Amino acid sequence: MARDFIDLKQFQMKGNLSPRTIGLAVVAFLTLVLVFTSWYTVSAESVGVVLRLGKYSHTTQPGPHLKIPFGIDQVTHVQIRRQFKAEFGFRTEQPGIRTRYSERDFEIESLMLTGDLNVADVEWTVQYRIADPFNYLFQVRNVEETFFDMSQAVMREIVGDRTVNEVLTVGRTELAVSAQAKLQELADQYQTGIRVDQVILQDITPPDPVKPSFNAVNQAQQEKEKVINEARAEYNLAVPAARGEADQMIRQAEGYSIERVNRARGEAARFISVLEEYRKAPAVTRRRIYIETLSELLPKIGRKLVIDKDLQNVVNLLQLGKEGTNNEDR
């Protein structure tokens, strides 16, 4: 169009302003305008929704397309293949699609009541796509705002039906699944044309002032484990050792038993053998044993006294005891 304009100026400067030239210029100008306003390109992630005189006509896929110019066909590009992300309770620093929310107080968004009337700090993101461009454009005014309102209402409704413990720990996955289902239900009810891909729970924490006491619970839980483990360790230290000792005692008793019985058997056998020989010649054997014993015994005895059979009061004479012993030692 710029070139077209210059061309006109050149004509003017030359001063060849015949009506024919002007006519040609006008036709050329209009043709150019027509060419430039009667085609458009739909980018790869979008579709083009065409309104003809305000009425929906058709939807076009990526690529160049023709349209009727002069505002008769109006094309709105809708990015149906792009996934969008909305953040609640926090904001990503880098500017993106949600930067217009960055001045809000996030705590207001993230603090919510649980079913047991406690407070939890819930941060989440919603990933969504535009599934139905027609509904997205024509059924709800300010559709994104609506969708964000719905997301908040749904999350609070669901958190409000759970205990703070469920929200913080065991119920997390179920919470996300329920939120997604409920949000999709609402989005369909309003005909927003939005498909919820995923509700992702980010940080779910107790409110800041309460956090230390939650940590204290964790600590106490660990303390409990620790104390119990210590006691178990003591148990494990003492009991197996005692079992060993007990085993030892029993083995010893078994040893004693074996020894005792063996000894008895041995001694009995020995006695029986001796007895058998004795029976063959009792008197001689008896005497032999007596003499053998004495001859074994006598060398061991330090002091021997032989007295006559008629001697009386021998013990007095001997002065047995200390003195005698002493004399002997000297």
Partner 1 sequence: MKTARLATIALVLLVLITLGSGLYIVDETQQVIITQFGEPRGDAITDPGLHFKLPYLQTAHFFDKRYLEWDGDRNQIPTKDKRFIWVDTYARWRIVDPLLFYVRMTNELQAQTRLDDIIDGATRDAVANHDLLQLVRTSNREVTVDPDLPEADLATGLAEITTGRTAIMDQIQEVAQARSVDLGLEVVDVRFKIIDYNDDVRQNVYQRMIAERNRIAQRFRSEGLGESSRIRGEKERDLQEITSEAYRQSQELIGKADAEASSIYAAAFGRDPAFYDFLKTMESYPAAFDKDSWLILSTDGEFLRFLQSARP
**Rounded least distance, CB 23 to partner 1, Å:** 17
- Select 7 or 230, whichever has its Cβ closest to partner 1: 230
Q: Which of 24, 26, 32, 272 contacts partner 1 by CB under 8 A? A: 272
- Select 63 or 282, whichever has its Cβ closest to partner 1: 282
Contact between 55 and partner 1 by CB under 8 A: the answer reads yes
**Rounded least distance, CB 272 to partner 1, Å:** 5
Contact between 177 and partner 1 by CB under 8 A: the answer reads no
Contact between 101 and partner 1 by CB under 8 A: the answer reads no
**Host H or E run for residue 202:** strand 194-205
Q: Which of 254, 281, 284, 319 contacts partner 1 by CB under 8 A? A: 254
Amino acid at 297: L
Amino acid at 264: A
- Select 93 or 296, whichever has its Cβ closest to partner 1: 296
- Select 44 or 224, whichever has its Cβ closest to partner 1: 224
Contact between 286 and partner 1 by CB under 8 A: the answer reads yes
Contact between 245 and partner 1 by CB under 8 A: the answer reads yes
Contact between 53 and partner 1 by CB under 8 A: the answer reads yes
Contact between 157 and partner 1 by CB under 8 A: the answer reads yes
Alpha-carbon distance values, 51 to 48, 57, 69, 137, 290 (Å): 10, 5, 12, 11, 143
Q: Which of 58, 81, 104, 232 contacts partner 1 by CB under 8 A? A: 232
Contact 160, 116 (CB under 8 A): no
Contact between 123 and partner 1 by CB under 8 A: the answer reads no
Contact between 1 and partner 1 by CB under 8 A: the answer reads no
Q: Tell me how long the chain is.
A: 330
Contact between 33 and partner 1 by CB under 8 A: the answer reads no
The span of 10-18, 25-33, 82-90, 133-141 binding partner 1 (CB under 8 A) equals 133-141
Contact between 61 and partner 1 by CB under 8 A: the answer reads no
b/e per residue 179-211 (b: at least 16 CB within 10 A): bbebbbebbbeeebbbbbbebebeebbbeeeee
Contact 49, 56 (CB under 8 A): yes
**Host H or E run for residue 271:** helix 211-280
**Edge-to-edge strand order for the sheet containing 55-60?**
55-60, 47-52, 73-78
Contact between 265 and partner 1 by CB under 8 A: the answer reads yes
Conformational region of residue 211, where left means phi above 0, alpha means psi within -120 to 50, and beta covers everything else = alpha
Q: Which of 30, 34, 66, 227 contacts partner 1 by CB under 8 A? A: 227
**Rounded least distance, CB 3 to partner 1, Å:** 31
Contact between 111 and partner 1 by CB under 8 A: the answer reads yes
Instruction: Residue 175: count other Cβ atoms within 10 Å of its Cβ.
Output: 22
State how far the Cα of 62 lies from the Cα of 69, in Å rounded to an integer.
Answer: 19
- Select 17 or 246, whichever has its Cβ closest to partner 1: 246
The span of 3-11, 32-40, 96-104, 224-232 binding partner 1 (CB under 8 A) equals 224-232
State how far the Cα of 317 lies from the Cα of 320, in Å rounded to an integer.
Answer: 8
Contact between 26 and partner 1 by CB under 8 A: the answer reads no
Contact between 162 and partner 1 by CB under 8 A: the answer reads yes
* Nearest residue to 148 (alpha-carbon basis) of 177, 181, 176, 124: 124
State how far the Cα of 278 lies from the Cα of 6, in Å rounded to an integer.
Answer: 158
**Rounded least distance, CB 66 to partner 1, Å:** 20
State how far the Cα of 155 lies from the Cα of 20, in Å rounded to an integer.
Answer: 71
